[in-house]
Structures are given as structure tokens and as C-alpha cells.
């Protein structure tokens, strides 16, 4: 049985930056930039993420890889990604409202 991909569309807080404490010690800080209206593909495992990146139609819609299981999708490309995932036999679940182009 194939695991489905999970699309997550979200928004960031009004503050574009924040600082997280690092595991390197209490004085260490890691600067982080938060974005709004981003879409992610969350996969069950790294192998599935690699499989998605191996598809030419999907890889051109990926803006980046956040970790071994999370892919960042280019703005306005959700529908294209969803169509390709369905062609591959996946049944993606969309959480949140996909942002409209130009928002």
C-alpha cells in the first residue's frame, strides 16, 4: 500500500523573523525566518520524498527541501503538484486553504 503525500499550506506570524534556542547550549541561538502562505509536502519517509524529487514534473515545482521528509513548493504551483501526485497514484490530503496567486 502506498502512503499518501500530505500538502500543508500555512501562513506565518506578522513578525518575519524569530530566534530559536539551539541544542548547542543555552547561549547559542539560531536565526530563523518565517514565511507566510507557503505550501509543503510532508511525506511519511525520506524514500518517498526522494521518489517525488526524481519526477521531472515535480522537481521543477519544488523550491527547496527543508529536511529529509519535507519539500517546499513554489508559490502558485499547488494545483500542478496535486495533479502530478494523483497521476503517480497518491491521494494527497490538503490541510489549510491553499493561497491564491497574488496574495
pLDDT digits (tens, 9 = 90+) for 11-70: 444 444 445 455 566 666 767 777 778 899 999 999 999 999 999 999 999 999 999 999
Which residues does residue 21 pair with via DSSP β-bridges, in sequence order? 29
Which grid coordinates belong to 39? 505550501
Per-residue confidence (pLDDT) for residue 64, from 0 to 100: 92
Per-residue confidence (pLDDT) for residue 35, from 0 to 100: 73
* CA–CA distance, 3 with 91 (Å, rounded to integer): 8
Domain spans in the chain, listed from the N-terminal domain onward: 6-91
Its pTM stands at 0.66
Per-residue confidence (pLDDT) for residue 61, from 0 to 100: 95
| DSSP of 48-87 | HHHHHHTSHHHHTTEEEEEETTEEEEPTT-HHHHHHHHHH
Amino acid at each position: 500500500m502506498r502512503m499518501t503525500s500530505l500538502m500543508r499550506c500555512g501562513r506565518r506570524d506578522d513578525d518575519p523573523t524569530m530566534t530559536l534556542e539551539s541544542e548547542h547550549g543555552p547561549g547559542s541561538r539560531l536565526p530563523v525566518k518565517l514565511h507566510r502562505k507557503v505550501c509543503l509536502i510532508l511525506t511519511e519517509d525520506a524514500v518517498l520524498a526522494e521518489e517525488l524529487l526524481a519526477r521531472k514534473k515535480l522537481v521543477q515545482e519544488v523550491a527547496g527541501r527543508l529536511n529529509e521528509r519535507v519539500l517546499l513548493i513554489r508559490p502558485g504551483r499547488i494545483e500542478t503538484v496535486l495533479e502530478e501526485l494523483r497521476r503517480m497514484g497518491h491521494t494527497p490530503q490538503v490541510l489549510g486553504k491553499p493561497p491564491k496567486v497574488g496574495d
